[in-house]
Chains A and B, each alone.
Chain A
Amino acid sequence: MQMPIPNAAVLDKKQHIVHRLLTVLPKEAVISDPSQTRAYECDALTAYRCSPMLAVLPSDTEQVSDVLRICFEEGVPVVPRGSGTSLAGGALPTADCVILGVAKLNDVLETDYDNRLIRVQSGRTNLSVSGAVEEDGFFYAPDPSSQLACAIAGNIGMNSGGAHCLKYGVTTNNLLGVTMVMMNGDVVEIGGSHLDAGGLDLLGVICGSEGQLGVVTEATLRILHKPVAARPVLIAFDENEVAGACVADIIKAGVLPVAIEFMDRLCIETSENFAKAGYPDAEALLIVEVEGSEIEIEEQLEKIIAIAERHNPVELRQSNSEEESAKIWLGRKSAFGAIGQISDYMCLDGTIPVSELPFVLRRIGEIGEKFGLRVGNVFHAGDGNMHPLILFDANKPGDLERCEEMGAEILRLCVEVGGCLTGEHGVGVEKRDLMFDQYNAEDIEAQLHVKDVFDPKWLLNAAKVFPLTATETRRNAS
């Protein structure tokens, strides 16, 4: 994977930059020793690594502003970082960059139950946002599986989703406002405790901009009262197609579950061996979860089960207790870990129209055969966001490249059937070079316009999201 040639002029003045940063940050917040900057060399896309020139850990908006102003004046590239759990290489450094980590900004600034909102500093982890309001019966809805570690900053950067987004939406639908520092140090407030912007929806374009438009330091988030209860049902089929048809019928019937999760045979077997959740022997398995009071749960499950039974499931398992519910979820939640136990894997993240599920699953199988690599499927079926897991051997020369090539072919398939390259993980460096498979030059140019306006010098995370060839003149102009 190609990265821009590091700017020698910037590397040459490293000491000068350190010196300036130390005028606005305490000593321990400026990390310049190569043995320590190495801690920031990658995010969760560990195949790519590069130590940054420096890393800084400011602790409030003012410090972030000071750091950015200095970097702006010195022409130093900056890569914002939350918790570094990006699966797309969004937080991957360049050798000439300053990693700006927001991990120290982790306070709750305000909770307001009457208005159902919480204001936090952006480095706070996703789970601890819910944690701050949990005792009072509230929660923050977007729940990426990485929620224990990932920060709100990264969630906003990637517009992250979660298992329950079928009902509650993704980050952008739950974000009310941000405090953001522009590359030149200006601090802008966008949105807040009221709904909808007065002018252009800048908040909408900031969310999901992968750290390229500004550094978010504070966020106002919508919180909701927790549902009374939730309960899953497990439905197993002997054909992928039938499981796909069942998903379509559930959605068409007008019941909107909070989650519909899908696993194929490889994932069922692997996670069963690992977690012993008691999953049936089947080709495909759905976990459908509904929420509400007892009466409401029963009413929805009744409908869902009636639909499922029309498709002759090989097994339909209802839960009669918290333990049984946990067991139904156990295998699904262990799926990634279980696959990780048996092999290296690469996790894809394309979205397809739900109606194309059966076709796409069959094609993925064929593509796997062509490349000679195994692939498992576990994903959010309700919204078509697929996570094919390609198994490969990192120690076998050429295997990673073959796996990446196969991944690209699957993502192109997603685009071909009317879907997209990434549903929730973001483009980062991983899918950067596939952008022209989804968008033409005019589509990309329109997006670059936005970057031009927010970051005219192209210093913020500039080697990501767009193919390097498309951004070269802009990056070199600065």
Chain B
Amino acid sequence: MIPTSELELVEAIKSTSEPVRIVGGGTRQGLGNTVKARESISTSALTGITLLEPAALTLVVRAGTPLADVQKALDLENQQLPFEPMDHRALLGSAGASTIGGVVACNISGPRRISAGACRDSLIGVRFVDGSGNVVKNGGRVMKNVTGYDLVKLMAGSYGTLGVMTELSFKLQPKPAEVATIKIHDVDDVTGVAALSRALGSPNDVTGTALVDGTALIRVEGLPKSVKYRTKALKDIFASQNVSVENDPVKSNGIWAAVGDVSELAGCRGDIWRISVKPTDGPVLVAKLRAAGIDLKVHYDWGGGLIYLRVNDDLNLRDHLAGFAGHATLIRGTGAGAIAMPPQNALVAKLETGLRAKFDPRGILNTGIMG
């Protein structure tokens, strides 16, 4: 089904008696547990920007709008989505054009998440059709809003299980005039993450902190003199290490796009896991996995707290996470039969099941995708 309006979407949901898969651009279909549904609902005809107000840093857009179209429109105003959503196509081997609704449904955030927050932090309003066909709006188009419960946050990252989103509002960010990347070469996991912690704990407003292939990467963005000043300040902090600076903005942007898209693991064979832990736990966990003889390739973002791991497919990584607070998601592969999405503890699971039963009493929306 490809509804061309919210009203048609309501009709589609009301008239179906079967589980449906919700499809945006299809680039992130591989995320989440397998959905058993014969029917699907596509948001691809619910497109268009409804409001773009640069002086208020506000964007309102229909959920099926391609992300590329959104970014093109923002480019013209020299503004951007603060949370820098990653492109999953290379990693998942998928094709198509990502939609803004898909980005929100999976709460997709990139390297700037450490300073600007996740997708859910920039999302300020939502309209959706729930599993009973009710049209619900929450939040609005202003950045400060505490009127009633914040269902906006709840919808971000709900993978379509609470409703099909039709319209989304975002708080935008001016594009930085300059960007530079400080590279600390030849670091191991422990010293690399320690360097990222130091950068994040300094007053230099860093907006990216990754550790890829033995190089710690630190990004600063902003007005020209400010970027120059902070680049020097950070270079000074790491003066005793092997440091270089990438001042070319095009190259810097390339570096961070590759970080966000986890490019260096994309072509690797094997399973890909995504793990969120306390940043300083990152290298400890990886050392433990290595000590257990696990063959792996690792990519750290978010100061060490976001880990992408390539491992062989005969392994359920969750078996090795005891003692670490956080969660692991199987992004690609079989994980020795592991379910993709992290299981929740009993009390949280009960709340989640309760919420789904309220918003989708027939259990028809992307059934089972989150567990």
Which A residues form the contact surface with B (CB < 8 A)? Answer: 112-116, 137-138, 158-159, 161, 165, 169-170, 172-173, 182, 186-190, 192-205, 207-209, 225-228, 248-249, 251-256, 292-293, 295-296, 298-300, 303, 351-355, 380, 383-385, 418-427, 431, 435, 438-439, 442-447, 449-454, 465-466
Contacts and interface: CB of A to CB of B under 8 A. Distances in A.
A352 to B, nearest CB: 7
A187 to B, nearest CB: 8
A438 B147 contact: yes
A423 B146 contact: yes
A340 B197 CA distance: 46
Q: Looking at B117, B141, B150, B371, which has the most chain A CB atoms within 10 Å of its CB?
A: B150
A355 B145 contact: no
B348 interface: yes
30 contacts: A114-B280, A115-B305, A187-B347, A192-B325, A193-B277, A193-B281, A194-B305, A194-B325, A195-B302, A198-B327, A199-B371, A201-B157, A202-B351, A254-B176, A295-B229, A296-B225, A296-B226, A296-B229, A353-B53, A418-B141, A421-B147, A422-B145, A425-B146, A427-B147, A439-B147, A442-B135, A446-B136, A450-B149, A450-B151, A453-B354
Contacts of A424: 144, 146
A262 to B, nearest CB: 14
Given A194-B305, A435-B148, A447-B149, A188 B140 contact: no
A201 B370 contact: no
Contacts of B354: 452-453
6 closest residue pairs by CB, A with B:
A204-B153, A198-B327, A254-B174, A423-B144, A453-B354, A198-B342
A202 B353 CA distance: 12
B200 to A, nearest CB: 6
A155 to B, nearest CB: 11
A207 B136 CA distance: 20
Given A205-B153, A296-B229, A355-B56, A193 B325 contact: yes
B175 interface: yes
Given A116-B201, A296-B229, A383-B143, A186 B148 contact: no
Interface in B306-335: 306, 325-327, 329
B112 interface: no
Contacts of A453: 351, 354-355, 358
Given A207-B150, A465-B148, A201 B120 contact: yes
Interface in B117-143: 117-118, 120-121, 130, 134-138, 140-143
Contact of B327 (A169, A194, A252): A194
Tell which of B145, B344, B352 has the most Cβ of chain A within 10 Å: B145
A354 B203 CA distance: 30
Interface string B53-64: 111111000000
B41 interface: no
B156 interface: yes
Contacts of B224: 299
A353 B359 CA distance: 30
Contacts of A113: 201
For B55, B120, B147, B149, the residue with the greatest tally of chain A CB atoms inside 10 Å of its CB is B147
B54 A252 contact: yes
Contacts of B201: 113-114, 116, 138, 225
Contacts of A422: 145-147
B157 to A, nearest CB: 5
Contacts of A193: 277-278, 281, 325-326
Given A300-B223, A446-B359, A195 B306 contact: yes
Given A202-B351, A254-B78, A443 B145 contact: no
Given A251-B56, A355-B56, A449-B358, A420 B140 contact: yes
B160 to A, nearest CB: 12
Contacts of B117: 169, 173
A295 B229 CA distance: 8
